[in-house]
Amino acid sequence: MTAIEPPGSLAGIPWRTWAKMLLMLLGDEERYLSYLSWVRGGKLPESPALDVLLAGKREFAPRGTPRPERVTTAQWRDLRTPLTVVIGGRSHFVPRRAVAAVRRTAPSVRVEVFPHASHAALVDEPDAIKNLVGSFMEGTDGARHA
């Protein structure tokens, strides 16, 4: 299993990020574009990805999005599935303390930080993450037997 930038699952989402999300949800499209740029390290996605995100803001966000649940110490302890966690070094959603917390609580979990990636780590570092996930899958029993 691979988790890429899992907000709220490893450590609480920083309050500054919650505040920005709330302002974005209450704002207009211009504020949403500003928020997207902030999330992505100063870059807006190109269309058609931008079009999909704007449609999501209009159609999905007003109905409410599920709040992420934090993985408990007991859940980490009971984890038997090989797991790699990918974190963007410039992410506003997954704080750096999450890396230490996962490594302390679940030492078998592989945590990789991509220093120049934002919350959109897969967009920022597609080849490096693809290679990481591929090599991780090759090293697990599930991938060899698939």
Give the pLDDT band (50/70/90) at residue 145: very low
pLDDT at 142 over 70: no
Mean pLDDT (the chain) is 87
> pLDDT digit string (tens) for 21-61?
888 888 888 998 999 999 998 989 888 889 988 887 777 66
For residue 140, give both structure tokens.
């697990």
CB distance 95 to 18 below 8 Å: no
Give the pLDDT band (50/70/90) at residue 68: confident
Between CA 107 and CA 104 the distance in angstroms is 6
The residues of the chain that CATH labels 3.40.50.1820 are 2-12+70-145
Top-level class of domain 2-12+70-145? alpha beta
CB distance 76 to 67 below 8 Å: no
List b or e across 40-55, with b for residues whose CB sees 16 or more CB atoms inside 10 angstroms.
bbeeebeeeeeeebee
CB distance 56 to 50 below 8 Å: no
CB distance 87 to 9 below 8 Å: no
CA atoms within 13 A on the CB side of 35: 21
> pLDDT digit string (tens) for 73-118?
889 888 889 999 999 999 999 988 889 889 888 988 999 999 999 9
Between CA 46 and CA 78 the distance in angstroms is 41
Could you tell me the pTM of the whole model?
A: 0.81
Quick one: pLDDT at residue 64? 65
For residue 131, give both structure tokens.
């290679």
Give the pLDDT band (50/70/90) at residue 136: very high
Quick one: pLDDT at residue 55? 85
